[in-house]
Structure 1
Amino acid sequence: MIEITPLYGALTAILMAILSTRAGLMRGKYKIALGDGGNKELALNIRRFGNLSEYAAMVVVLMLLMELNGASAKMLHTYGSIFIALRLIHPIVLFSDMPPPKWKMLGRFISAGGTAILMVFGAFILLSA
């Protein structure tokens, strides 16, 4: 029975709903139906949602396959928790103007790089199963 992956899938969906709602509300505020209309603030909010949606499906699928292959509950919770933490950090540290503050650069490096490492780790676990 699949018991752990749905929790992290649901948490990811909640985060996606929050980020997409923020972008949608901003579209209404600035009366921009498609694209970002050249508005930097809206463009950044669109990317906050987009970055999560680009990685979420793959991470949840990897996690599901690990669970189906018998990965331990501890490993799955660690994997899922790290993903959620990295994806909570990423929208905060995402920047559009250069040069960004150093703390944002470091946060972005950790959140984006950490997500990539997490995917490679998941793939490695599946390939070695």
Structure 2
Amino acid sequence: MYASASAHAAALWAGLHLFLLLILSVLVTHQRRKHKVAIGDGGVPELERAIRAFGNATEYVPAALIGLAVLALAGAPALLIHLLGLLLFLGRILHALGLSRSAEATLPRAAGVLATWVAYIAAAAALLFYAIP
């Protein structure tokens, strides 16, 4: 069975995002062990931020990956999927870095949110474009 370049592009970004989610999960586990907190955040700011960085990624990444997969199925060019996947990936990394350093608004955190939202808007627009026969 032949998979299109678009499907390969979507697979690449799905795989990279899964690794990102795994890394963020490991960082939560590391903070839990370090501070001996089995459930919740134990009032530990570093753990709270790690939990939110992972939680925020799990709130945004799945829907975006579904969007990339549907774009691949709809025949969108691989380049478009790569651009959207990269923008989302960079956004999620920036957001996690910014949030891991401070609970306050930081430039990386804000840039990460903006990149994520731009990726969402562009993916939604592309999906609507490819939905029209």
TM-score by length of 1: 0.89
Contact 2:91 2:114 in 1 (8 A): no
Question: Distance between the aligned counterparts of 1:5 and 1:42, measured in 2?
Answer: 32
> Of 17, 30, 47, which aligns to 1:12?
17
Shift of residue 25, structure 1, vs aligned partner: 1.5
Query: How far 1:82 moved relative to its partner?
Result: 1.1
Corresponding residue number in structure 1 for 2:36: 31
Residue 72 of structure 1 deviates from its aligned partner by: 0.7
Paired residue type of 1:25? H
Moved segments of 4+, more than 4 Å: none
Does residue 48 (structure 1) correspond to residue 49 (structure 2)? The answer is no
Q: For structure 2, which runs of at least 5 residues remain unmatched after alignment?
A: none
Q: Say which of 90, 98, 103 aligns to 1:96.
A: 103
Residues 99-129 of structure 1 deviation map (CA, whole Å, 9 limit, x = unaligned): x5xxx2x322221122122112111111122
Q: Deviations over 1:78-104 (max 9, x none)?
A: 11111111111111112314xx5xxx2
Equivalent residue letter for 1:108? R
Identity across the alignment (%): 31
- State the Cα distance separating 1:53 from its structure 2 match: 0.9
Q: Look up the match of 2:116.
A: 115
Q: How many residues align?
A: 123
Cα distance in 2 for residues equivalent to 1:67 and 1:15: 21
2:79 is matched with 74
Which runs of 5 or more residues in structure 1 are unaligned?
A: none
Secondary structure at 2:8 match in 1:
coil
Q: TM-score, normalised by structure 2?
A: 0.86
Match of 1:84 in 2: 89
Partner amino acid for 2:118?
Answer: I
Using the TM superposition, give the Cα deviation of residue 26 of structure 1 relative to its aligned residue in structure 2, in angstroms: 1.2
